[in-house]
Structure 1
Amino acid sequence: MAGNFTDDAKKGVLFIDFPPVLQLQLKRFEYDFMRDTMVKINDRYEFPLELDLDRDNGKYLSPEADRSVRNLYMLHSVLVHSGGVHGGHYYAFIRPTLSDQWYKFDDERVTKEDVKRALEEQYGGEEELPQTNPGYNNTPFKFTKYSNAYMLVYIRVSDKDKIICDVDEKDIAEHLRIRLKKEQEEKEDKRRYKAQAHLYTIIKVARDEDLREQIGKDIYFDLVDHDKVRNFRIQKQMPFNLFKNTCTLAPLLVSTCALVCSVGDFVDFLVVMSTCALA
């Protein structure tokens, strides 16, 4: 202060250095004192694919900063929140190798996306719907976009090779390797099962005990309770004698066996008098 005059004060922050991985939290949520509640800010905010923090002769750096380090960053991840302040959904757009190919990570679903989808559509703000009748002077209808970026992750170009490196199998935790192997085996089993499905059918084999239990309960209109008898998946061309000899069942039982063959919604009953290897 000099006499009756004051100088305009300038307040800011200067950085001594920047990290190899720069995480920027956008202020999408804040407390509204007028409403006495938290609100989400959906205003448009454009962020660059390339961020140069040395621009304007390093105006963000303090005099003590090491100017030999080049603070040029490339956008690696865009974290997105879709919804309001009281709820919503989180997902992310990531390019693991800083190439032009982006990926959207939405829970367990991963899809390829282009740069427009990862950047421009996550700026927030308002979007204008296309006019259905261009010939009329209609006022364009705009609506607020509730899906927008709330965090950005940048990687310094000079440290790219240190941060984005190849991952070997030894770098993956053992429990994850076991889980991945199990999932791959299950996926292969399902593929094989589906490919051979037309060669197999499901049959149900009922024993004398199953018939007696059904009739003994004063039920006279069904031979057996189809939900309780045992199911077998066999080849359609397998002879019945071969089925008896190869199926893994407990001790031999001389009895009358009811073979219930189900094909789609059609059920065919075949009563076979034989020695069945049934439990």
Structure 2
Amino acid sequence: MATSKRIANAAPVQAGIAGANALDGAGGAGARKRSSGIDVVRPGAGVDSKSLLESLGVVDDLMQRKGLSNQQATLAGVRHSILRQLASVHGLDADALTLPQLSGPEWVKRFPDSRSTAELERTFKTGVDAFIKSMQDGHATVKVSSTYRPLERAYLMHYAYALAHDEVKPKDVPAQSGVDIVWDHGDPAASKRAAQAMVDAYDIAKEPALHSRHTEHKAIDMTIYWAGTLTLVDGDGTRVTIDSGPRDGTNRKLVKVGKTFGVVKAMFAGDPPHWSSDGH
């Protein structure tokens, strides 16, 4: 690395300024020593794209250093500031860039699951719609909570669970395109608490997969219940009467009816609302 690098900090972004100040203080002094002399400066009007890219490279290098794990949020703020200024230099919309944010329950509102069967793969959708109609015609209540799950949400759910259960360390969580989250709070206990808060807010029933039938448009989560006797027509056109319990989606006779529509109840325990193209 060169003897001195300039880290450009975009002045309009408060978080970035705070980050530069933090690095320029006691915490940053150590960083400069470990990096063979890094100057944190505020850019003037003459800062160009090349300088910003060099600064970005320096910040990315710092973010990979184990000795600076407690500075991840600060560095992420500085990185965001540099990206905003790069966007401005190239005539792009700087406001479209999202600020890296620490993990926590507020992430649960982002990248929501769809509840529409229109998001499902065509063949599976046809069976699901027919199955739901048959149940509703028999006066069952059907409440859909999830169909298609964006990859970004699957990523957040998967790693929040993994961190909360000590299956991975914050620094080892891979990045996901489009998800500017900072898992490492600089303190293992704080990182784990934030992950657990996400797990609770997602109301996760079992360990979420990174890739599942939900991300493939081939699964649906629905709560089903009825009172008394349920009479419906299965996928083969046969009239079926269900007069035994439980009067919900786990009823064995209802599960058999679902299969005739190509809608298979979850083959694993711990996820009662889950149905898919093959039970997975």
The answer to whether TM tops 0.5 is no
Which is helix-richer, 1 or 2?
Answer: 2
Pick the structure with greater CA Rg. 1
Report the TM-score, using the length of structure 1 for normalisation: 0.24
Q: Which has the higher contact order (CA 8 A, sep 6+)?
A: 2
Which is strand-richer, 1 or 2?
Answer: 1
